[in-house]
Structure 1
Amino acid sequence: MMWGVRVAWQGWLLVALMVMMLGTARAEFSVPLGDSGDQLDVRVIEPPQGAPEDGPLVLWVANQYGDMAGPDSVAHALARRGATVWMVDVMDSLFLPRSDVNVRELDGEPVGSLIERAIKEGRPTVVVAADRMAVPTLRGMRWWQERTDDPAALTGAVLLFPSLYRGAPVAGEEPELFSIVDATNLPVMLLQPERGVYRHRLLDLRERFLEGGSDLFIKMIPEVRDYFHMEFEEPALDSLDSIDDIVGGAAEARAVRALPDDILRSIPLLAAADHPDEVLPIDPDRTTPVDRQTGLQPVEPQEAPDFELTDLEGNPQRLDPDFDGVQIVNFWATWCPACVEEIPSMERLASRYPDRLKIYAIAFKQSPEHLREFMQDFDVSFPVPVDPDGEVAAKYDAFAFPSSFLVAADGRIHYSVNAGIIWDTEEVDAIVREMLEIEPE
């Protein structure tokens, strides 16, 4: 009996020692949302015992996909550096399905109420969010700003690769930002992956924030793409020193290890920035998401941008100005399931018109070595050019992936699509035959 008590006590001591070393994680409390009866469940990750009690408070708003091993690992690393982290999954707390539309339709009350509760702690406070969750986070900051007498009580927000657009327009058209971008004047730090999807739109986004009066800081994260801190095979709660085998690669590991310090270094920058009392107005016409366009869409014919790229065989690829047929310019990536899913049907369509149809499956910001290995699982006749910096995709204003553009013999784009489709359907075939001026069967 005594032996069993000793083992149990030793086990408790081991847990206690781990808590002292790593920080404590516990599901502590809830934040009520007005009189609706809704509430946010807050999970707290605290610094090790003995750490200063005046460390920063990080409000980590979980991505639309929920709690993940990567952000949890970064949160524990923040705690080891003296920060207290409040992890909140808004979608889970409100029992909302995890759809893009539901995320983008969230108003500011959930995140705003979280900020309202957090500043009562009297500590430097920053909100962290990524991707589409950046929209309800900015709305939450403005919701709180309307109700506070001290806008400087919140240092600001750290946004990782934020998706601040109302949705994907017809491929080739300019996307529209949510009006919350123009209505944000509290300071923001933007952490932008160098190989991210919206990298080429960064300067335009910066101008919009600055026009609204927000002090915007930008840090480029080299050599990685979006979601670099989320794709962990398993959590690393005790240390980020040995994560090379559980993340995408060496560049991703470096970026993840640097992320806690990137966030903490943002706090004094944001705190020293301007925190206006004025709450900017919202444009009601740009508050809701736009419907995603699916299927081939006719567009006003426009000259197709030329390109000069090298395919996986080392051959130069560009549009053929003398080609008497249809050329399909397709932008895709191996990390995009819809992109990969449409490859076989694209090959089947190509086989129907071997002399009148050319396809260029342009790989967006991917390495040739990775692509060669990946393409071993596919038998395709068309070339796979590599767009290493995304410059060609930017010329075509490719917003979503996959995006495809149908170029007629006149050298102009006549149809586009910003989603994955099945390419050998009767509907698509009819459009191709129309562009080839082939009589319907």
Structure 2
Amino acid sequence: MTNHLEKRVMRKVTLRIVPFIMLLYFIAFLDRVNIGFAALTMNQDLGFSPLVFGIGAGIFFLGYFLFEVPSNLILHKVGARIWIARVMISWGIVSGCMALVQGTNSFYALRFLLGVAEAGFFPGIILYLSYWFPAAKRAQVTAIFMAAAPLSTALGSPVSAALLQMHGLLGFAGWQWMFVLEAIPALLFGVVVLFWLTDRPAKATWLTEEERDWLSATLQAEEASRAGAEHHSSAWRGLADKRVLALALVYFGTSAGLYTLGIWSPQIIHSFGASSLETGFLNAFPAVLGVIGMILWARHSDRTRERSWHVIAACLLAAAGLVLAGQVTTLLAVILALTLVTVGISASKPPLWSMPTLFLSGPAAAAGIAVINSIGNLGGFVGPLMIGVIRQQTGSYAWGLYFVAALLALSALIVLLLAGQAKKPRPAEMPYPHSH
């Protein structure tokens, strides 16, 4: 009876929540990396060097970093519905204002403000999933949600490239049209969030009373067992946990890889002679395979109840792809190399994100997840910036790609060390969850 009830509840919750939050993340990711396509014409229009572009693309993550933890703690207090609506509407406004960029200062300022506006969205959703899904289901659900990032690249790349073709319409550049039109969905769905999202299972009128009671009891029992095993429920304990800081460093490497791809791959492909429109379609191909790899890998991680080696293998695959991308000389070879990177980075994320909520609960989970994401996302500043710096110095992408590959190899090493620590638990300390 309980098994049948569990299946029914999980099916209802999944169908209600997951497609919707995927759509929101699709919009979020598109609005933070469409700068990569704008660069195909904007850099020339505004006279931006690779260094200026690298700083502007990456400075988003400084704003994101500074406001991430406060934003997630507010979400835990006021509820996901109101706070995520606020986040989306504010980032939609700033994203549309990117069309007004006149030079270096306005470029830097608006990218920084976009990071401030969007801070809290991603870790807020990760926290929100822990309110609705038991731990055993979380990696796969996280994978489906996070598949929106490569999907956003797959579908958004041709769309962004097509919008660049509007150049000259009503006297505006193609990149200006792209920023304005791609900001509209964030504003619209920010309003929809207020009517669609439910804060907690106890408030879910779309579940029966029996279903609400079962889900609330299951999640409360999990939280109680975590709190009983280790008193990591205060926000300060979440901020101070060494495992949180270690996971933040792991995420730093994967973020450097993800945003190096998202922000620079259109220009890398373009440098092999592809037109803007061809670049749009070619950039979509690795992302499609990234979605498939991510979901299959997360399913395997859930089935085997293993996390560490799933993260290590994926990080090493992405690092190998980046090294290859720095050496190839043909368009086909660079697409294959970028595919390896995309699959590796995409696959590393869900098993990584299923780790923190296994040893943190309540405000500690809100703070811990936000710390991992905010420190980790600084990789999104360092990766694209170093590509720009090194390209300006050498005229080539190669050494910048090798640098990001080294960060991913370091991520794999840290997870390996954490897994080793888990086998030697210290007194009064819960071992690191290399499995459920």
TM-score (norm 2): 0.25
Question: Whose strand proportion is higher, 1 or 2?
Answer: 1
Larger helix proportion of the pair? 2
Asked which structure has the greater RCO (Cα within 8 Å, sep 6+), the reply is 2
Given the two structures, how large is their TM-score scaled by the length of structure 1?
Answer: 0.25
